[in-house]
Structure 1
Amino acid sequence: MFLRQASSSSRRFLPLIQKTSSSSSTSSSSLCTGMMGQTQKVNFSTQLRGCLGNKGPTVIDTSGVMDLPDRKSPSDILRSLQEKVDAVKKEAKLGGGLERIEKQHQKGKLTARERIDLLLDEGSFREYDAFVRHRCTDFGMEKDRPAGDGVVTGHGTINGRLVFVFSQDFTVFGGSLSETHAQKICKIMDKAMEVGAPVIGINDSGGARIQEGVASLAGYAEVFQRNVNASGVIPQISLICGPCAGGAVYSPAMTDFIFMVRNTSYMFVTGPDVVHSVTRETVTSEQLGGATTHTQVSGVAHRAFDNDIELIRFTREFINLLPSSNRDNAQSRLLTPTDPVDRKDYSLDHAIPADTNAPYNMLTGVIKPIVDDHEFFEIMPDYAKNIITGFARMNGETVAIIANQPCELAGVLDINSSVKAARFVRFANAFNIPIVTFVDVPGFLPGTAQEYGGIIRHGAKLLFAYAEATVPKITVITRKAYGGAYDVMSSKHLRGDYNYAWATANIAVMGPEGAVKIIKGIEGENQKEREDYYRSKFATPLLAAERGFLDDVIKPHETRQRIIEDLEVLRTKKKENPQKKLANIPL
C-alpha cells in the first residue's frame, strides 16, 4: 500500500511550567517583592509585565521546573502519528465490524474487500481514500462516521493488466450511497478515463443514504455523468453481488456488461413493498428483480452465476478479451495463438441439414469449430436465444461474433434479438473489435405482438448499428438470408468488408413457400416442384455472387483460414463516417 510518509522535520513543543510555592496554597501565582518590602501575589501569565512595573528586584518562583517530563523525540512523535494512521486503516478494513461481516457470510456473500482480493492479482491492489468519512450531521449521524464511508476504491491488476475498481460495503450503512461515497467512486472513474483502463464496479447497496437527502441524489447524478462520459472510452463492467435498488440501478444500466448472482443479487427501481402498495401485486425480490428475471426476461443483465466466487472468476477471464480503452488497437490485444491458422474442421461440411427447414445448432456446429481452441464467451446466452452474441479469438485476436440460431425460433429476428445484437455491435465498434457475422435468418418475426411492440423501430437499431460500424466486418451466410433480414445482417450493402456464402446458402426476397404463392408461371406440376424450381433459380448464392454482393462462395472447412487471413488484411483499415455531432439512432 502506498503510504504518504510524515515530514521528517519535528515541531518544538514548549513545556508548560507548573508554578508551585511552598509558602502559598495556589500554584498559579508567584511572588514579586518591591523596594518597600511589600510582597505581591501576581498571576503567572502576567508576572513579567507586572514585575517590570515595580521598582524593586523581581523574584520568580521556579520550584517544580526540574520535575517536568522529558520531551518526546522526533522518532517517538512519528511513531505515534503512524500508529494513528494504522488505527484508521484497521478501522476501514473492518467495515461495519465483525458481527456484520459474519451476517454477510451467512447470506452466502463475500465482503467488499474479499471480492476485491479475489478479483485482482495477489498483492496488486492499491487503495485510495480509506480515511474518508461522511459529513452528515443530521439524525445523529455525526456520532457514527466509519472510515471509508461504505465503499472501497482503488486500482490493481488482472492478469497483469491495470483496472480500476470500487466495491460497495453492505456492512457499513447497508452500502448506501452518500455524498462522499459517490465522490470516491467518481474519483477513480475520472482517473480510469485519464489513463485508459477499465472500471469494474461491485454493487452491494441498499440505495441512497436517506439521512443525507438531496446530497445523496446529487452523488448519484455525478456517478451517472461519469458513466456517460466513459461510455465508448473505457470498458465498464458491473458486478451485482447484492441489492441494487432505486436510483442505484441506473449506473449499472449504463455500463457495458452486467453480471449478477442468483438468489443474492437484485435490481429494481421500486421494491416488492412499494409494488404491492401501488399495484396490489405480491411479488418476491427474486421474482421482481433477481438474476433469473434480468437474464431471461428483461435482458437487463448479461450473465448469471451461482455465487460471488464463480462470478469473479468469470470476470477475470472475460477481461482478457477486452481492450483497456478505445485507444487500443487490435495488435495490442493479440495473444500468442495456440491453434493453427490452417486448421480445417471437416465437420463443418456436414453442419447444414439437407432439409432447409431443419434446425441445427449454430454455436456448437459452426462457431466453435471455427474459433481458436473451440472457446466462445457468450454474452446474454439466456435472453433472445434466437441470436448469438459473444467473444472469441481468431489467431489470437479478439473478435465479436453475432449469429442467428436456427434451433431457436428458426433464427428469426424479433424485437429482443434485434436490440440484443445492436447493443453488442455498437460495443464492438466503439472499442475497435472486428465483427464476424454468421447468417441463417428466414426474416423478421410476423404478428401483431411484434408490430404493436415496435419491431420496425427496434429492428432498425440493428440495421443502424451495422451500418455505422467502421471496424472490420466479415460475414458468412450458411443457409437462409431472406428479405430485409438479409440486408440487416451485415450485408455487403452495409459496407461489409468481406462477405462469403457456403454452397448451402439461400439468398432471396423470401422463401420458396411464399414466393410460389405470389409469382405466377413458376414451372412445376405441384407445390414441391415449383418450390424446388424457385430455390434452384433464385435462392442460390450464385445469383448474389454474380452481382458482386458476395466476394466468394467458399467451402465450410476453409472458413477459419479465410477469416483469419482477412483479419490480417483489415488490421490497418481506416474508415470514418461523415462528420457529425452524433447519430440519431432510433431508440
Structure 2
Amino acid sequence: MDNQSTSSAMGRICSLLDESSFVEIGALVRARSTDFNLAEKKLPSDGVITGYGTISGRLVYVYSQDSAVLGGSVGEMHGKKIAALYDMAMKMGAPLIELIDCSGLRLQEASDSLFGMGRIYRKKTAASGVIPQLSAVFGSSGGGMAVLTALSDFVFMEKEKGRLFVNAPDAVLGNKDDRIAMAEAQEENGLVDFSGSEEEILGKLRELFSLLPSNNEDYAEPEGTEDDLNRSVSGIENLSAPDALRLLSDDGVFFRTKRGYAPDLVTGFLRLNGQTVGAVMTEEKSLSWKGAEQAAGLIRFCDAYEIPVLTIVNTEGYQNSGCTEKHMARAAAKLAYAYANASVPLVTVIRNAIGTAGLVLGSKALGADIVYAYPNARIGILNEEKSAELLFPDSDRESIQRQATELGKTQNSAQAAAERGYLDDIILPEETRQRVIAALEMLYTKTVSSPDKKHGTV
C-alpha cells in the first residue's frame, strides 16, 4: 500500500473540514470477494474513507477515495459504504461532498461491483433536491464514476492530474490525446464548474458550501454584513457581468458557476443583505443555447433549495449560427420552463430585452415577481430599425430612421412597457442594489400553490 496516497485521501478531508472535526465511519470495512486472491491483498477501508465533520461549524458528510487501493475502484463494499453515508446524510439533512480519485468499477468483483455503483446512483438521485451534493475530482473519475460525478449539483476538478471520462481517451474513436478528459475540456463541456490546484479546489468547496443551505427545508445561513444596503452602484451598467455582480453583492462576494461553458451568460451566487441569491446575468447581447441551458440549471437548483433568483438582462435576440439553431429551441424552452415553474422569489433588472430571448430571461410574463428596467432600456419584438423596415418597406432611409425613432418611444421604451404593466418600476442603475434588496425583503415569505401533478416533462 502507498502510504503517501492514503495520506492524500485523508489529507484532503482534513484540509477541507474544520480542524480535528472529522469522524471516520466504516474504517474496518473490508472487501468480501475472494476471487483473484483479493483476500490476500490489503485493501484498507476498501479504498474509500467515509465520515462526517464540520465546515465553519456546519455538519457535512464526506468521502475520499484512495487510489492506492486497486486504483480507488468501486467494489461491493466500497459502494455499500458510500450508499450508507448517503443514508446518514439524508437522515440528518446535511450536504455531502465527494473527493474523487477512482479508476471506475472493480473488475475483480464483476456484477457485485456493478450493483455497488448502481446503488450509489440511486442514493444520489434520491438525494437530489434534498441535500446539496458537491464533487471534486483529484485524479481519475472513470467509466461509471464519471456518471456518478455528473449526478452532483456542482463539480470541481484538479487541472493537472484530474481526468474525467466515460470511455478512456485512448479508446475514443478519432481521439489522439487525453485532453478530452482534462479539466479544461470538461469546463468547456459544462460539466465542471471550477478547475484549479488541489488547494484552490478545497478553498472553493468551502466557499460554495458557506453560500448553500444544508437541505431543501433549510435556508442558506444569512451572514451579517456591514455593507451599506443603500450603497450606490454607479457605473454598474458599464461593467462585465462578474464585476457587476461583485459590485452589487455584499462585500464583493460572488461565486461563479460553469465559468467555462457559456461565454454569453454568467451564473453564480452572491449575497444581498446577508442572504444567498442565485444570479443570472447576460454578458453578450445575444443568447446562445449553452447560455440558456446554463441559466436553466441554476434556476432549477435555486428553486429546489429556496434560493431567490436575480436576473439582469441585456439581450437583443438569440445567437445566429448553425450550431445554435440546432439546439436553441429546446434550450430556450427549458429556460422558459425553469422560470415559469420556479416558486422562489424572482427579481429581474432589464437593460435591454428584445424578442423572445428577452422574454425567456425572467420576464413578468413567465412569473417574475418584480421587474425593473433602466430608463434607456429597450423592450420589444425587434430593434426599432428592423421594425421600421418591416412596417414601412417602401419608405426611404430618412423616413425609416424617423419611424424607428418614433417606434423606440411608443413601443420599445421602458416607459411603454411600464404603462402596459410589464415593468414594476423604472430605476436608475446606481439604485440597483438598494431596490433589489428591498424587493427580496418584501418577497421573503412568498408562497406559491402549484397544480396537482407529479412533475412536468420539459
* In 2, Cα distance between equivalents of 1:154 and 1:293: 32
Pair 447,169 (structure 1): closer, same or farther in 2 beyond 3 Å: same
What is the CA distance between 1:526 and its match in structure 2? Answer: 5.0
Compare relative contact order (CA 8 Å, sep 6+) and give the higher one, 1 or 2: 2
Pair 461,156 (structure 1): closer, same or farther in 2 beyond 3 Å: same
Pair 449,273 (structure 1): closer, same or farther in 2 beyond 3 Å: closer
1:328 aligns with 2:202: no
Partner of 2:240: 361
Partner of 1:129: 26
Q: For 1:432-443, what aligned pairs fall within 5 Å after superposition?
A: 432-443=306-317
Partner of 1:318: 208
Contact 1:501–1:541 (CA under 8 A) maintained in structure 2: yes
Partner of 1:284: 177
Q: For 1:331-480, what aligned pairs fall within 5 Å after superposition?
A: 333-348=221-236, 351-352=237-238, 361-364=240-243, 366-406=244-284, 410=285, 412-451=286-325, 453-478=326-351, 480=352
Which is further off, 234-243 or 531-540? 531-540
* In 2, Cα distance between equivalents of 1:329 and 1:157: 17
Partner of 2:63: 166
Identity across the alignment (%): 37
1:486 aligns with 2:364: no
What amino acid sits opposite 2:63 in the alignment?
F
What is the CA distance between 1:207 and its match in structure 2? Answer: 0.7
SS at match of 1:459: helix
1:294 aligns with 2:186: yes
Contact 2:47–2:73 (CA under 8 A) maintained in structure 1: yes
What is the CA distance between 1:288 and its match in structure 2? Answer: 1.7
What is the CA distance between 1:454 and its match in structure 2? Answer: 2.7
Which of residues 241, 244, 255 in structure 1 aligns to 2:138?
241
* In 2, Cα distance between equivalents of 1:524 and 1:413: 29
* In 2, Cα distance between equivalents of 1:313 and 1:172: 26
* In 2, Cα distance between equivalents of 1:345 and 1:476: 14
Q: For 1:494-573, what aligned pairs fall within 5 Å after superposition?
A: 494-520=366-392, 525=398, 527-573=400-446
SS at match of 1:574: coil
TM-score (normalizing by structure 2): 0.96
Contact 2:384–2:408 (CA under 8 A) maintained in structure 1: yes
* In 2, Cα distance between equivalents of 1:174 and 1:191: 26
* In 1, Cα distance between equivalents of 2:425 and 2:233: 19
* In 2, Cα distance between equivalents of 1:194 and 1:405: 41
Contact 2:345–2:446 (CA under 8 A) maintained in structure 1: yes
* In 1, Cα distance between equivalents of 2:242 and 2:106: 45
* In 2, Cα distance between equivalents of 1:529 and 1:432: 48
* In 1, Cα distance between equivalents of 2:68 and 2:322: 49
Pair 282,329 (structure 1): closer, same or farther in 2 beyond 3 Å: closer
* In 2, Cα distance between equivalents of 1:309 and 1:362: 26
SS at match of 1:111: helix
Which is further off, 337-346 or 245-254? 337-346
What amino acid sits opposite 1:388 in the alignment?
V
What is the CA distance between 1:361 and its match in structure 2? Answer: 2.0
What is the CA distance between 1:147 and its match in structure 2? Answer: 2.7
* In 2, Cα distance between equivalents of 1:534 and 1:126: 67
- Structure 1, unmatched stretches of 5+, are 1-95, 353-359
Partner of 1:38: none
1:204 aligns with 2:92: no
What amino acid sits opposite 2:38 in the alignment?
M
- Structure 2, unmatched stretches of 5+, are none
**RMSD of equivalent CA atoms:** 1.7
What amino acid sits opposite 2:256 in the alignment?
E
Partner of 2:170: 273
Partner of 2:12: 115
Partner of 1:3: none
